[in-house]
Structure 1
């Protein structure tokens, strides 16, 4: 029902009551006409009547689906049905209130919102969701209770989706190309390879940037370039055999163009295509930068709206913040007009329900089932060009991506947060000399970067699968290389009639939960959950069951969290109907950030033991459930360097009293009366470095090839127990015979193995040297004098090919052969990363990021606490040796950058001692942090 008010010259006020306007498919010849009458503007009866009608209208909308032509009658029909069987006399008021309390707009929004990666939470709008009792007629439901009911209904709807949802798999090909004001030649033959990668996909989406850079194009629209490129794409598609396409839509904004094609045999499956554009150039008005987008749905895919945005963001390395702002502006302002008979309802998919909606009538970019955002996003690599080119030549794309500005913005939630992107396995796509595969040789010498990207966001987890993500270096038309992605996704058709039938059945089941007394509540097997033995990073789960209850976990007084960080619960709230049970799973997983305080406890430690009392809240009463871990298996991972330097036996053989004394001494909370001696570097670090120095110095791909998780855990267990490393599992079968890890290389080994013994001797000597270093001295040694000449030039480097093939350094062998050694290297990195306080943290971390030369870097080392400085120098010395032991010139050239990148990420980290602000008070651009960390360590690695 619609209510309209307008002034009337004769009576002062006119009221018109009418049904909402209906699309032709729902219109009937007997539709009621509008009813109008006039009255005095100030009449109390009129104002009361209007207020009552508006309230009834509001309740009807809340209680029913917006797609129902007469859905506002449902509450009254339900009430009439209840009166027929006499139930209304018993609980009539409750029945009506229930329908009003079930907010179908919120149920629909929750059902259609993007599924989060987290488990269900009992916190709603910052408040814990209380339990509820649908039979209680004494008071209205609280907000938390309504949230719980709505969530329960959503879960039941998803369980029965197959009753009202039809699914179909389709393939969508998306391509982006910055054409640099160039035009295609020979009927699109020069872009044929890019177009052919579409591989017969159902839908093709072409995005172009810098289509037209002329001054005239900036001032007024001209379709010439769009027509040229449309014709080239048409001709390239016509040359494909066995498939044909029809162009559906296009939209241009000066240099940005988006073209949509659909395979001819499925062209009737798509309709309601709308488009929009937004200029984001100078002052938000110039269209040299901007975005164009297309939204489509209807027919076979009517309930899966798809949105595609083609964007060109600000150029130049420093303009990260401007790029972020342009992305946010586009997301907030791009508005797609409603197609005919379209309207927004509660069941419209929404990728970000909390995002503000653009002004005006239409769809936002987030009101989609799948959003694909592509284009020249212009995010750059924060590294010098020579380093980038060296990594490109070695195809070390994973390392390069650590310096990618877009990855940094996503990580910090500054732009494209939650968006996904397939793994990049191709070289940077910008900037090339036109007509070649050579990166920019002009005076500007642009740093190669992945400026051209394709990202996506979906409402359903794993709904989008990327079959291929490619660049096309054979296309040399522009200074960019085109990029393409083939997406496989599920599209849906929803029967609203069947969905409404299912939801009414669900609510009827909810209403059957009747009774005037509180339900019987049981915890099975009992009111406590005891975990026998828990180890680091090893999830352990137990279950209990609730019987006949409506329930929710509640945080303790003064806490906003339901559980401590080491404990997770799923689910955290729910509704149990009669004759049903609720299984609750408790999972204990101790991570390194709390493992240290468990292994070396102190009176001040927040996590001295693993025990917790949880509260299960029910209306009128609470249940208490005790969670406890009987045995924590101590580990060196997650401990502080000060604790580990005082540990002189395996951590698992040390008694709890010994570990407590070490923890107290390291914390400095009491005077260390016993004077526990500190090693220069922890013994566990010495074991790892010695083993790698003995066996792995010349293994190709050291510290960039991932190890096997089981082998890494085996090495960790050896560090904790003191057991010897199992050489039969960690070394290649042809390497060395089984024996004690510290004596496997003997002085009578052949000459090609002698350099390994020399390396171990040098590292042993280094440990003694480090202990003698005075951090107050004006200079620190840049090399350790005890390193023998063989470390620089080993006889094995001049061995014959036959001899070389028998060494560990044979680069032709696969990574699998050295998987055990890679696992030890992986364990070293995990150990350093797990330290309770990083090697370089606190204020030293902030200073390290601002170093401008090698002297400043060494000044930071001098400022470190003694154990931290020793560990840093020890690791750096080992890495210097490893650099010199590379078997080939290419490997030796690659290792400095590789080691600096990998180890800077684990040695330099912000810590709990950091104030959260930079030393100068001016925050650094997040994208520059990886480069600054890498440069700091690179200065230390210089010989």
Structure 2
């Protein structure tokens, strides 16, 4: 693909055009630094990917955007589909496989929210890959080098985080499979004024167990946790303080229910803890936490917020506990604190507070009662009418109505006294010199749909702090999947998306995906034609794909054309030729043993999906290509066997033979033996056997039917057929002892190995040698020539065949058995025990005919 592995410097025009197209996919203040071509492997498919290294000027951060694309060269930015987004944050990793791995041309990209995703690059792209890696490392280092503690802004990536087409479609159809489950949520907040948890005057149960029904989830926020300077400097002491509060709260929850702490988060004196019913824990799929520090110089953390995000079933819930700026006149500072928490709170999965279905914000918000000018503080605060009057001057309500904070949030009706400021240990408002005005500092607000507030109150009897604790109880309807309905919708979506992908990809229609050749016979060619059509609005290129680094098809098949182009609304005829001959019969028989098909062709459409075409047929078994053992397992002519039956005989490894030597072999030997002097010159050059004409098929049928008619050929065709019977089986006749026999220095040594052969192989070999020896004695053919021809046939497959002395070794071995001048031992002695009816006689036919009835 043009443009891969190229930076933004001086580049060739073709690369620039691709880079310009990629740039069009981003905003003006986002810079594409580098693009690199890679691919992924899914099953047996290779999926092209384009990795773009991009930065945002506003965010000052980098990311890798992985694109998929339908075709090359690219013409528009719309052809680029975002496949994955990797922020170069602290958790980002680019891991390269070591040199000792299966392949060094692969690497993984990962972040905290994603498992490692494997990519590959092409060998010719090695240099570009090294440049890409160096660039990525440099960009990441540059972000963290200046200020390692800086909170980096990756929010610009939200526009590019796609959840995938399937997920998008499922999201659209949520109404068809989503049901709602009622969950009772108990939110509680208390500014404890740095008082220790162990104070006996803090009956937390009256604060945390007020609901009529047992809560499913507790979110408890504390501000001004006991954090003396000494404790802040001692993490162990600080942790002990947190554990004391946690234990006290767990002991004070709704009685008779088993709860467990889900997570807690603390920022100096601000702590939030989420506790859930034990049975609910298994349905919480994700839980993350974060904090935003405010206060002195906006970094000390004595003010700010902490949050916990979780997913329950299909619903996303966020709890926020905050402590905002204090004092009557600091309204703007409180608003700024709120907005800083909203903008700065980012969870590990890049969600913001607003990216949740249900948000509960609690804490000491510190908004006061703005006393009207010229009016004195109200008298005793004892009834709802007084509270309503006070709330008219509540700063939080005023700021919310002006849209300056908590936009979109709701607060329940307040029917309780202001929660601040009290003289500790009493229910009296501040009697100190400052005499701070009463205020509703401690609040609980919510945002989202399907939320109903059941209770909202304070606890007056807890007097430990100068604040009163507050609680709010909600019934929230949480989204949950109906699994049966979901599976049905999911299947429909998958089919629809798959159809759309197919419609948007280059594709061709194939007339048939199953080519059946019917009856197939040895040495008889046949062919089948089928058409392919282009029904796309664009021209389409296609080709038959190579399989396993070999050819596009088996050796007995030919495909024409192997590749071509189809214009719009055009068709092309493809011809498949099949010929099972002396060069390919071994391949077909091997295929028959292991498969039910002759072959599967892969028709590859450029930038589209592969089409698989099955080639089948019914092979009529023939003696040519079968092993001697297989033929000895038959009890009737091969013409009467089916392909499936011969498959079982080829797979059969049992030594149960119907005869001791194939009848087809005997028929040829018997015919040749009776020709006498006509045998002169019948065994010529070894390669002449490959020239088979149509007349040879009559010989094939004569052998495969065990015909009683006269032999339909002549001496030359019989000799040719004999050599083919020995040459065409996958394994040579003298296997597995070929190497040992070639190394044998005497006939007696060779006979030791011959005696170890299977009975069919041993008998064929001995009978053949008797026949050849007799012809040599009668001077029908040359000893050296026959020894070389049959030696190379019987000893084929040897690793020594490339050696200079291979031919001489073949001749030497054969002369042990067909040269009458070599008499280490007579044919038919004890070395050839088990040879059955074969005896050393000049007339072999009479002996064999009497014992092997047909």
TM-score greater than 0.5 by the shorter chain: no
Query: Which is higher, the Rg of structure 1 or of structure 2?
Result: 2
Q: Which has the higher strand share?
A: 2
TM class by smaller structure: 0.3 to 0.5
Scaled by the length of structure 2, what TM-score is found?
Answer: 0.40
Scaled by the length of structure 1, what TM-score is found?
Answer: 0.36
Q: Which has the higher contact order (CA 8 A, sep 6+)?
A: 1
Q: Which has the higher helix share?
A: 1
